[in-house]
Structure formats: structure tokens, C-alpha cells
Amino acid sequence: MIRIILFIIFNLALIATQVIITQSKNWRYGLIIPIFNSIMALFIASFTTMASFTTVRFIDGIRTVTNTFRLGGFLWGFSWTMLILSIPAAINFILYFTARSKYRRIEAENLNKMKINDLD
């Protein structure tokens, strides 16, 4: 139970950090967390998806080991693993684009106010 609570707190802190970083002037900093999530999803999916299976048979008392590569099974497992692990990256990219559009709107309003003040 404590692990679930810590996991939720960590993710909420990560989301808050993403929103705060994205609303800064430098837009590149807001891409750090989503790109890191994407790279980690690719890394984890690459090294945890099984590409082959091993069968052990005994024929006349002789142990025979067969290692079979399954490309279709690998691609299916890799695709599902990438899909599941990319959900945090997708959420962070959505947060990035919505926060940046809000930042641009606020900057445009400030620019309009400055133009109005300059005309007075």
C-alpha cells in the first residue's frame, strides 16, 4: 500500500514539475522529461521483450536444447510493451503542448498590453 502511495506522489510531483518547467521562457527545458520517458520506454521494451524461447528435449537419454527465434512474437510483445510504457511520455507531451499554448497566449496578451501602453 505504501508503494502505491509513493508511486502516486512521485507521479504527481513529476507532473507538477513538468508544468512548471514548460511554462518557463526557454521551451527546450519542457521537453526533457517527455524525451527521457520515451528513451526509457524504448530501452526497457528492447531489453525485456523475449525474442526467442528454448526447448529442452531428451531423446534416447541425450539432452537436446533448441533455441528458436520468433520474430512475430517479438514484434507483438515489443509493440505492446512500447505502447504501455509510452503512456507517461504521451501524458507529458500533452502537458507540454497545452502549457506552451497557455504560455504563448499569456505572452501575446502581455505584448498587446505593452502596445496599448505605448500608444498612450
Residues ≥6 apart with Cβ < 8 Å to 68: 52, 53, 54, 55
**b vs e for 87-100, b when ≥16 Cβ sit within 10 Å of the residue's Cβ?**
ebbebbbebbeebe
Average pLDDT (33-55) is 82
pLDDT for residue 71: 65
pLDDT for residue 52: 63
Residues ≥6 apart with Cβ < 8 Å to 56: 63, 64, 65, 66
Residue type, 119: L
Q: Cα 20 to the chain's mean position, in Å?
A: 18
Task: Choose among 29, 30, 12, 7: nearest CA to 93.
Answer: 30
Question: Mind listing the pLDDT tens digit for each residue in 47-85?
Answer: 887 766 667 777 777 777 776 666 666 777 888 888 898
120 has pLDDT over 70: no
Confidence band of 39 (pLDDT split at 50, 70, 90):
very high
Bigger pLDDT: 94 vs 11: 94
Question: Mind listing the pLDDT tens digit for each residue in 2-30?
Answer: 988 998 898 889 888 888 888 877 878 88
